[in-house]
Chain A
Amino acid sequence: MNVDEFVKVFGERFPEAEVRVSENKMPHPKRRVWVEVEREKFHDAMKFIRELDPKAQFSIIIGRDAGETLEAKYHMELFWEEGESISLIIGTSVPKEDPRLPTVTDVFPSALPYERENQEFLGFVFEGIPDPRRLFLPDDFPEGIYPLRLDETGIKPEMVKNAGHPYKIRKEGAK
């Protein structure tokens, strides 16, 4: 399957999804498929991709604080056994007041660490996640603070430490 075939097949199954193809220029010309699906259809979409290519390679989930919403983009490589693979970035977004997303660990088990990471750093809630523990943040890190959030639930200024420059320390005194 190539990029155009994938766009066609996926568009037929999920007509309301937003699909676009970007093109990288030299030195590594590559076409990338970008898909935006609403939260309700997201799990179905992931299942559909897995059925299209059972060997799809799940790479990572990139989460982002987009102001009113939280965005999650799932990167994967499809049909990599057939020579040139399809690079797919499938994303969805959720409102901040209701940051629930279905887990995709039942479809792609390797999504688990990325879901845990996005939960602790951005405050997503992955429904049905088999292991919701924190992954990177220390156990004594305060609850309800999400370090990658850009709003008031992000890191507080008083949590930021700077070891200081000797010129400033001597001028303003150690803090």
Chain B
Amino acid sequence: MTLASVTEHVRSGMTVGVGGWGSRRKPMAMVRELLRSDVDDLTLVTFGGPEVGLLCAAGKVRRVIYGFVSLDSIPLDPHFRAAREAGRIEATEYDEGMFVAALRAGANRLSFLPTRAGLESDVMTMNPHLRTVASPYDDEVYVAVPAVRPDISLIHLNRSDPLGNGQFLGPDPYFDDLFAMASDKTLLSVEKIVSTAELTATERSTSLLVSRMFVNGVIETPRGAHFTSCDPDYGRDEEFQRHYAASAQDEESWQRFRETFLAGDEASYHEAVREFHGVYA
């Protein structure tokens, strides 16, 4: 499928899972496609990075369910911070382990999973919907983390075949396989689509973590995680990320950033990034 068809699947009001982790292997090309669309009122489920900031800045976010929102080398996304401080978005802030439990419960089609994490912390205060559950075997009490099942998840991997068998080549799969299993639908974007045989020609089969069973569409979109990292294909574009964060500081700089990078299609985005780095085709 093409990048443009992302919006045939992602509709306003949906709960959208986003793979990757912080500023690492985020499906940024698909996120940029959402920015070009009129999709809004989204609930994001994510170990958040710049996708949260960009979608918040575009006014497309109603709620974020998150383990954290960070740009890694920059502790917090400035647009997310601004949206939180202005009260423009609802926040479901979980302990990171609770966040994983919520996804696992969703993937297992359970109503909840128990965790010790969260007990006696203000995660319980900040999320009044949370309940505890008593063990039927002893006197222990746990947090019953309710399942999260996204309507659709967006994930980005290094390679896949045309059927949607996805491959991670970097050091960490993050939670992309879990997102795919916990969601009603999943769209996979990759750096490169190759033949099924080519996937394991030089790589171990243990890199094939995302099965076509859990993928509804594949999009080849080179540098589709930019400006986040996509090891080993490319690292994070730190210089551009700093520019993104600095541009968020005031309306005028942000307007300029949008006009320069986000006003056109994916090809013109990458062209503008090359120009930003002083590389002229």
A binds B: no
Chain B positions within 8 Å of A, measured between CB atoms, are none
